[in-house]
Structure 1
Amino acid sequence: MDDLFQAHAALLDAAVAASRRREFWSAFPEHPKAYPGSAPAEGQAAFEALKNRPFELARDEQDELRGCWVGEEVSPFGMRLGITYRSQAADDLVAAAQRAHAAWSEASVEQRVGVTLEILVRLNAASFLIAQAVEHTTGQASAMAFQAGGPHAQDRGLEAVAYAYAEMTRVPEAVRWEKPIGRSFIRLDKNFFVVPRGIGLIIGCATFPTWNSYPALFANLATGNAVIVKPHPAAILPLALTVKIGREVLAGQGFDPDVLQLAPDTTEAPLAKILATHAAIDIVDFTGSSAFGSWLRTNVTDKLLFTEEAGVNTIVIASTNAFSAMCQNIAFSLSLYSGQMCTAPQTIFVPASGISTDEGHKSFEAVAASIAGAIDALLSDPVRAGAVLGAIQSPETLTRIEAARTLGRVVRDSSALPLERARTATPLLISLDASEATPALEEWFGPIAFIVAVHDAEEGIARASAAARTKGAITAALYSTDEAQIARAIPSYARAGVALSVNLTGGIYVNQSAAFSDYHVTGANPAGNACLTDTAFVAGRFRVVCVRRPAAA
C-alpha cells in the first residue's frame, strides 16, 4: 500500500491553510493552457470512445449477475450519448456498501485522506474528459464545463477534505490523563477513535453534477463512510467517471472498491426515495428542487440530511457611479449558463422614481431598457452568445419561459440561438409593479428575470431580505453609492442568511462562488440547510469515541 498521505502532504497542508485564511487559493488550475497540450484532444477522444456502448467498471467491482443496463442521456446540444450503465437494486447496493464499509472505517485518518487526495489528483488529470461529459449532459458551454465541472469542482472536493482532516485531527489519538487528589493522582490512559457514521447517499443534480456532489463525496470518504452516488438520470456520465476513478484508487490501495458505488436509475424507475429511506443509509446529501428537498425533510428524519435547494436571488439597485458597467455585469450574470445556476439572480428591485447614476438620473424604464440593451450587446455575436449561454438542460425550462411571458410587460423577450439541434434560450426580462410582484418572489429556474418597481431602495432591500428569509436565497446583490445605506442593509441580509455582493461592476459576478473563500449557501434560510463548505458540513459525518484505562506504571 502506497503512502498517499505523505505523497500529498504538501497539497493537504496548503488546503488546510487556505481554508483558514479565506484568501484566493486554488490547487487545480482553471485555465486549459496549464495542462499538457495533448490533453484536450485526448479528453475528446476518450469521450468519443465511451459513446454508444456500456460504461464498464472493472469486472470485479460490481456483481455482473445482478441489475440491468440503463441510460437515457441526451446532450442539450442535440446528440444522444447512447451510454448505458449497470443499475442495481437498492438492497444490493447497500449490502455491498456495508461489506466494504468495515475495513474502510477502520483505516487510519491518514490512509483515508491520502486516498481522497489521490482520487482528486487523478480526477484533475482527467479534467478534459470530465469536461466533455459535463458539457454534453448539462448543456454548459465548453469553457464552463471544463472549469466548473473540473478544477473548480475538484477544489470544492479538496476543501471538504481539508475541513474533514482538520476536524478529525483536532482531538489527539492518545493522552495520559492525570487528576490530582490531595497528594496523589488518578492517572488514566485515554485513546480517542474517529468513528464514521455509516453509509452516505449522494443525490446528484442535472446542472452541476460534479461541483455540487464533490464536497459531500469527499467529506464522506475522508471521514470513513462508504458512499453510494445516485446521479440525475440526465447527467450520469460525469459522476460515473468520478466513481470509476475513485474505485480504481481504492482497489489499488487494497480496499474494497464498493466503498464507492454508482447507482444510476431512470425517470420511470427512480431510486432516490428508496435509497434515502433505506434503514441502512445514515447520511443523505441532496442538491435539487425544493419539492424533493421538502419531501426529504419530511420523510428522512432518522438520518443526517444535507440539502441545497432552490431560492429567489435578488438584486437591489439604489444608485450607482458606474451605470454602464453595472448593466453589463448584471447582463452577464443573467445570461451565464442561461440562468441555470443556483446562484443566478432572478428578481431586480428598482425604485419606481428611478436612480441617480454617473450618467445622470435614470428612470425605472431606462434602467430596465439599459439592462436589456446590455444583454443584447453581450449576445450580439452568435459565437460569444453560445459560449456564454450554453444550452438549456431540460425542456421544462422552455415551458417555464412561455408561462413567464404572461406575467408582466416583456422588456426583453427570450429567443433561441441559431444553433442547429441545440436547445437554447436567451434571457427573458419582465417588468412588474410592486403590487404585482408575487410571481417574482417564487423561483423561475432558467433564463427568466423580473425587474420590479418599488417605492424606494429601502423597500427593495426589505423585500429582498424578506424573500431570502421566507423563500430562500443563495446570493443577493446591492448597488448603492450611499455607504450608510449599505451599512444598514448588511445586517438585514445577514439575518436572512444570504451572501451579499455590493457594487460588482468588473470581472467578478454574483453567480460565482470561490472555493476556500466563499461559503456557498449558509444553511440559514430555506435555500438549503447545509453550507459548502464549513465545519458543520463535515463534523457530523463522524463521532469520537473514548477508550480509557488505568495508566500503566
Structure 2
Amino acid sequence: MTQSAQQMFDRHRQTLDQAVEAISSRDFWTPYPENMKKYPEDAVKGAPSKFESLLNQPFTLKAVESTRQVGSEVSPYGFDLGITYDQPDSEALIAAMQKAMPAWRDAGAEARVGVCLEILARLNAMSPDIAQAVMHTSGQGPMMAFQAGGPHAQDRGLEAVTYAWQAMAQIPATAKWVKPQGKHDPLVLDKRYHIVPRGISLVVACSTFPTWNTYPGLFASLATGNPVILKPHPGAILPVAMTARVAQEVLEEAGFDPCLVSLVPDSADAPVTKTLALDPAVKLIDFTGSNAFGDWLIQNATQAQVFAEKAGINSVIIDSVDNLKAVTMNLAFSLSLYSGQMCTTSQAIYVPKGGIETAEGHLSFDEVTAALSKAIDKFLSDNDRACAVLGAIQSPATEARIDECRGLGEILLDSEPREHAQFPKARIHTPLLLKVDAEQKAAYSEERFGPISFVIATEDTAHSIALAREVILEKGAITLGAYTTDDNVAEQFEELAMDVAAPLSLNMDGGVFVNQSAAFSDFHATGGNPAANASLCDQAFVASRFVVVQSRRHGQPD
C-alpha cells in the first residue's frame, strides 16, 4: 500500500465504520447531507457559472490516445452544451487497464477502499457542481438533481464500498492449518489467500440518473480491484465525465495509474457499448436501461457477469384508506416527481370498480379517480413549483410517447405542457392519467416510460392482487405500493410482495413516497423478478466481483 492510500484510508476510517454499522442496523444514516444549506454558500451560488464555464469546449481527462472527439449533449431545458470529449481507442485502453490492474490488486483492500472513500468525499464537496451537470443532461429539477445526483448517489457508492469491504474483510490474508495426527507429528500448512479481481468492469450509465445508477457498479468494482470503464449515455456524458476526472485525480495522487477509471463516451449514430461488452477482457457489466438491451447483454456478453436493472411495471393496489386526501396527495407527488422518469414510479394503479371504503364512508371508483386527478391538478397548480418537481423530459422520444399513449384508455387527466420561467424551451409536461378495464392488459402491462399512468378497474381487491401478481411475475417491478385499513388484506399484500420479489410500501400517505429509496436501509430492487437481476446494494452485488486464490506450503507448528 502506498503512503497516500494509507492516509486516505485512515482519514475516512470512521466513516467506513459508521457505514458498516448502518448496513447492519438499517437505520437512517448518511455522511453526505442532502440539505444544500450544509454546503458552502459560495460553492452553491457559484455552481451555475462554473457549469457555464464548461460549455462549448473540450472536457479533458487523462486517457490513452483518442480516436475521435464526441459530444452532442442537449439540455432538456433547451440549449446545446457544446462540450466534446475524447473517445479513447478501446484496444489501447483495455491493454493499459490490464497493465495497471496488478498494482491495484496487490495494493490490498485498505488501499483500494481508502481511494474510493477519498473519491466519494471529493465528489460530495462538488455536489453543487454535479447538480448542474445532472440537471442539464437528465432534466431533473434543481433540488432533485442536487440530492439524487449528489449526496444520494454518493450514499449508494459508499454503500457498495462498505459491502465490498465487508466481503473482503471476511477473507484472512494468511492462516496456519494444523491437523493433529495422534502419535505422529501434526500436518502443518501455511496458507495465503489472495483477493483477485475478475477483470475489467464496464459500467453502462443511463441518461436519467447518470450518477445514482452508476456509482454502485463503479465503486463495487473499483473497491474489489477491477479497473472500470465508464460508458455514459450520449445524452448525459458530463456528470459521468466529472466523476471520472475526480477518480483519476485521486488514483494518481495515491500512486496508481489514473486509467483505472476511464471514460469511453460515444454517440447515438456510432455506439460502442456492444463492442466493449463483448471484449474478452471485460468480466463485469453494470447496466441500467431498456429490457431489449439488458436482455441482449445477458444473452451475448457471456464472458461477463451482468448486473442489469431493466424496465418493470411498478404497481399500486388500493383496497381501502383512512384519509383519501392524504393518499391522493402522496400519489400525486409520486406520479409527478421528475415526470415519471424514474425506475420506481408507479404505472399501474389497481382500484376495484365497485369503489373503496374510507374513513368518510364508501366512495365509488369514479370518486376515487376524480380525487386522484384533482390532487395531481392541485399539486401542479403553481407553475413554478410544478416545473421544479416535474423537471424536464430527458428525451424527445419520451415526449412523443405521451401523445402515443392518449388513445390507450379513457383520459382522466390529460398531460399539458408547461413553460419554465427561466428556460422557455424546456420540455415540460404534466402527468397523463388514463382509465382502463382489467381486460385491457396490453395497455397497462407494457412499460410506458414517462409521465403516463393507468388506473385499472378490477372486480375486487382479490382480482387486483391476482392481476398485479401476474403482471409482475411476467414483466417485473422495482416497487409495489398498497393501501388498506384491513390487517388481513395487509398480510395478503405482504405475501404478494414476497411472491413477486418486489419491495412493498404500505399505506404511504405522508412524507415518504413509493419511488424513494434510502441507502443503507432500503434494498433498491431485489434481483428476484424480471425488472432487475441484482439488488442495489447487498453482498451478492459485490462478492462475485472478485475470487479468492489460495496458496499453501508445508509449515512448522508454533
Question: How many angstroms does 1:411 deviate by?
Answer: 0.3
Q: Distance in 1 between matches of 2:166 and 2:295?
A: 32
| Alignment-derived partner of residue 396 in structure 2 | 395
Describe the SS at the equivalent of 2:472. Answer: helix
Q: Deviations over 1:381-432 (max 9, x none)?
A: 0011011100000010121111110011100000111221000110000001
| Alignment-derived partner of residue 477 in structure 1 | 481
Q: Distance in 1 between matches of 2:111 and 2:147?
A: 29
Counterpart mapping for 1:398-477 below 5 A: 398-419=399-420, 420-477=424-481
The letter of the residue matching 1:317 is I
8 Å CA contact retained: 1:437, 1:452: no
Q: Distance in 1 between matches of 2:358 and 2:324?
A: 6
8 Å CA contact retained: 1:90, 1:271: no
Aligned residues: 549
Describe the SS at the equivalent of 2:79. Answer: coil
Q: Distance in 2 between matches of 1:328 and 1:93?
A: 50
Question: How many angstroms does 1:172 deviate by?
Answer: 1.2
The letter of the residue matching 2:69 is W
The letter of the residue matching 2:161 is V
Describe the SS at the equivalent of 1:316. Answer: strand
8 Å CA contact retained: 2:113, 2:165: yes
Question: How many angstroms does 1:185 deviate by?
Answer: 1.4
| Alignment-derived partner of residue 66 in structure 1 | 66
Give the stretch that moved more between structures: 200-209 or 464-473. 464-473
Q: Deviations over 1:324-357 (max 9, x none)?
A: 0000001110000000000000010000000011
The letter of the residue matching 1:158 is L
Q: Deviations over 1:40-82 (max 9, x none)?
A: 123222211111100012xxx223x531111010000002111
The letter of the residue matching 2:426 is A
| Alignment-derived partner of residue 132 in structure 1 | 132
Q: Distance in 2 between matches of 1:465 and 1:38?
A: 51
8 Å CA contact retained: 1:313, 1:345: yes
8 Å CA contact retained: 1:175, 1:190: yes
Question: Structure 1 unaligned runs (5+)?
Answer: none
The letter of the residue matching 1:376 is D
Q: Distance in 1 between matches of 2:92 and 2:499?
A: 45
| Alignment-derived partner of residue 344 in structure 1 | 345
Describe the SS at the equivalent of 1:305. Answer: strand
Q: Distance in 1 between matches of 2:440 and 2:309?
A: 28
Q: Distance in 1 between matches of 2:280 and 2:196?
A: 19
| Equivalent residue in structure 2 for 1:543, among 525, 530, 547 | 547
Question: How many angstroms does 1:102 deviate by?
Answer: 2.1
The letter of the residue matching 2:205 is G
Is 1:267 the counterpart of 2:271? The answer is: no
Q: Distance in 2 between matches of 1:43 and 1:67?
A: 32
| Alignment-derived partner of residue 90 in structure 1 | 90
8 Å CA contact retained: 2:482, 2:506: yes
Q: Distance in 2 between matches of 1:362 and 1:447?
A: 26
Q: Distance in 1 between matches of 2:474 and 2:27?
A: 31
| Equivalent residue in structure 1 for 2:14, among 10, 35, 49 | 10
Q: Distance in 2 between matches of 1:279 and 1:215?
A: 23
Q: Deviations over 1:261-319 (max 9, x none)?
A: 00000000001101001111111110001110111111111211100000000000000
| Alignment-derived partner of residue 182 in structure 1 | 182
The letter of the residue matching 2:356 is I
Q: Distance in 1 between matches of 2:505 and 2:66?
A: 51
Question: How many angstroms does 1:256 deviate by?
Answer: 0.5
Counterpart mapping for 1:57-456 below 5 A: 57=61, 61-63=62-64, 65-183=65-183, 184-419=185-420, 420-456=424-460
| Alignment-derived partner of residue 45 in structure 1 | 49
Q: Distance in 2 between matches of 1:62 and 1:174?
A: 37
Question: How many angstroms does 1:359 deviate by?
Answer: 2.1
The letter of the residue matching 1:70 is V
Is 1:27 the counterpart of 2:51? The answer is: no
The letter of the residue matching 1:151 is P
Describe the SS at the equivalent of 1:406. Answer: helix
Describe the SS at the equivalent of 2:307. Answer: strand
8 Å CA contact retained: 1:504, 1:510: yes
8 Å CA contact retained: 1:233, 1:265: yes
Aligned residues: CA RMSD: 1.0
The letter of the residue matching 1:120 is L
Question: Structure 2 unaligned runs (5+)?
Answer: none
Question: How many angstroms does 1:437 deviate by?
Answer: 3.0
Q: Deviations over 1:104-146 (max 9, x none)?
A: 1111110000000000000001001100000000000000000
Q: Distance in 1 between matches of 2:124 and 2:49?
A: 17
TM-score normalised per structure 1: 0.98
Question: How many angstroms does 1:191 deviate by?
Answer: 1.3
| Alignment-derived partner of residue 517 in structure 2 | 513
Q: Distance in 2 between matches of 1:182 and 1:202?
A: 55
Q: Deviations over 1:70-105 (max 9, x none)?
A: 101000000211100001232122122112212111
8 Å CA contact retained: 2:419, 2:425: no
Q: Distance in 2 between matches of 1:53 and 1:166?
A: 42
Question: How many angstroms does 1:194 deviate by?
Answer: 0.6
Describe the SS at the equivalent of 1:361. Answer: strand
Q: Distance in 2 between matches of 1:50 and 1:418?
A: 26
Give the stretch that moved more between structures: 534-543 or 32-41. 32-41
Describe the SS at the equivalent of 1:67. Answer: strand
Question: How many angstroms does 1:171 deviate by?
Answer: 1.6
Runs (4+) of structure 1 moved beyond 4 Å? none
TM-score normalised per structure 2: 0.97
The letter of the residue matching 2:310 is E
The letter of the residue matching 1:267 is A
Question: How many angstroms does 1:31 deviate by?
Answer: 0.4
* Percent identity over paired residues: 51
8 Å CA contact retained: 1:93, 1:228: no
Question: How many angstroms does 1:434 deviate by?
Answer: 1.1
Describe the SS at the equivalent of 1:43. Answer: helix
The letter of the residue matching 2:78 is G
The letter of the residue matching 1:319 is S
Is 1:492 the counterpart of 2:496? The answer is: yes
The letter of the residue matching 1:321 is D
